[in-house]
Amino acid sequence: MGRHADFCAKPAFSQQFDGVQCDLGVIKNSIPATLLITALYGQALVKVEGLVDKAGGEIILLKGMVSDRNGVPLDGLRIEIWQTDVNGKYLHSGDNRNLEYDKGFQGFGHDITDSNGNYIFRTIKPTQYPGRTPHIHVKICEGEKELLTTQFYIKDYPDNHKDGIFSRMSESEADSVSMIFSEDRDGTETIVNIVVKSW
Ligand SMILES: [Fe+2]
């Protein structure tokens, strides 16, 4: 597989939005055209092209390797993420709460895994909105085929076990999608490796 995998049949965020069904038309209506283009193509969610503002929140590097169940790296897969801004608001018309959206935050991003199966995003530590513990939505596709959808959580965040989705996972399942953050001179980063069991 090459680096230029096709998009999923639809961008993941157009299919499901925490229970709110939506489509790309709705998304387009809620996002400035330039922002949508950036959102569909970018790995960096924290600096929107053409805007001076930088995203609020704690900037992180989110990275890891995508492999099959035998640990073989999977290259050329499309990985998409989407999450709320620093105020806990989605860049989406389905989120009609009366909160101002952080225009410096892209809200969505994608990467294509490299020859070692690696992906990387520059984004913010996920924030909380009512009814959920902080999380980042994640989807992996091969061409138009959706391989996996999941959410990443903050390891040991106090509200994790009150969360209706998190609390249904076993301890090992939760650990596999929990982000442990480390600090170095380049900032805060977390590594989450993903196994595509259906491969
Ligand atoms: Fe969500």
Joined tokens for residue 67: 């492999």
- Mean pLDDT confidence for 126-131: 95
Q: How far is the CA of 176 from the centre of ligand 1 (A)?
A: 18
Distance from the alpha carbon of residue 125 to the mean position of ligand 1, in angstroms: 13
Q: Which domain holds residue 163?
A: 13-196
At 178, the amino acid letter reads: S
pLDDT one-digit tens code per residue, 141-192: 998 899 999 999 999 999 999 999 999 999 999 999 999 999 988 899 999 9
Sorting pLDDT into bands at 50, 70 and 90, what band is 27? very low
* Contact (CB, 8 A) for 73 and 4: no
Q: How confident is the model at residue 16, as a pLDDT?
A: 41
Query: Cβ of 183: how many Cβ atoms within 10 Å?
Result: 8
Q: Report the CATH number at residue 178.
A: 2.60.130.10
Specify if 101 maps to a domain.
yes
Kindly state whether residue 135 falls inside one of the protein's structural domains. yes
- Return the minimum-mean-pLDDT range out of 35-49, 65-79, 88-102, 167-181: 35-49
Among 28-37, 104-113, 168-177, the least confident range: 28-37
Residue 84 CA to ligand 1 centre (angstroms): 7
- For residue 93, is it within any domain? yes
Tell me which residue of 181, 14, 152, 147 sits closest to 79, measured CA to CA.
147
Pull the structure tokens for residue 7: 């998009």
For residue 82, how far is its CA from the centre of ligand 1 (angstroms)?
A: 8
Instruction: Dig out the tokens for 168 from the structure.
Output: 């249904």
Question: Rounded to 5 degrees, what are φ and ψ at 60?
Answer: -135, 155
State pTM to two decimals. Answer: 0.81
Find the 135 Cα to ligand 1 centroid distance in Å. 6
Is residue 1 domain-resident?
Answer: no
pLDDT, residue 34, reads 38
Residue 21, pLDDT score: 32
For residue 2, being part of any structural domain is answered with no
Domain count across the chain = 1
In a domain, 76, yes or no: yes
Ligand 1 center–CA 162 separation, angstroms: 15
Using the predicted structure, report yes or no on whether residue 38 has a pLDDT greater than 60: no
Q: How far is the CA of 2 from the centre of ligand 1 (A)?
A: 30
7 in a domain, yes or no? no
Q: Where residue 50 falls among pLDDT bands split at 50, 70, 90?
A: low
Distance 114 CA to ligand 1 centre (A): 27
Q: Find the angle CA(7)-CA(82)-CA(104) to the nearest 5 degrees.
A: 110
Half-sphere exposure for 126 (CA within 13 Å, toward CB): 28
Cβ neighbours, 10 Å, residue 119: 24
Cα 185 to middle of ligand 1, angstroms:
30
- CA 71, CA 184: separation in Å to the nearest integer? 27
4 lies in some domain:
no
Q: Which residues contact 106 (CB under 8 A, 6 or more apart)?
A: 35, 38, 39, 42, 44, 45, 46, 48, 55, 91
Q: Nearest 5°: CA angle at 197, between 191 and 198?
A: 135
Q: How far is the CA of 21 from the centre of ligand 1 (A)?
A: 13
126 CB-contact burial (10 Å; exposed 0-12 / middle 13-18 / buried 19+): buried
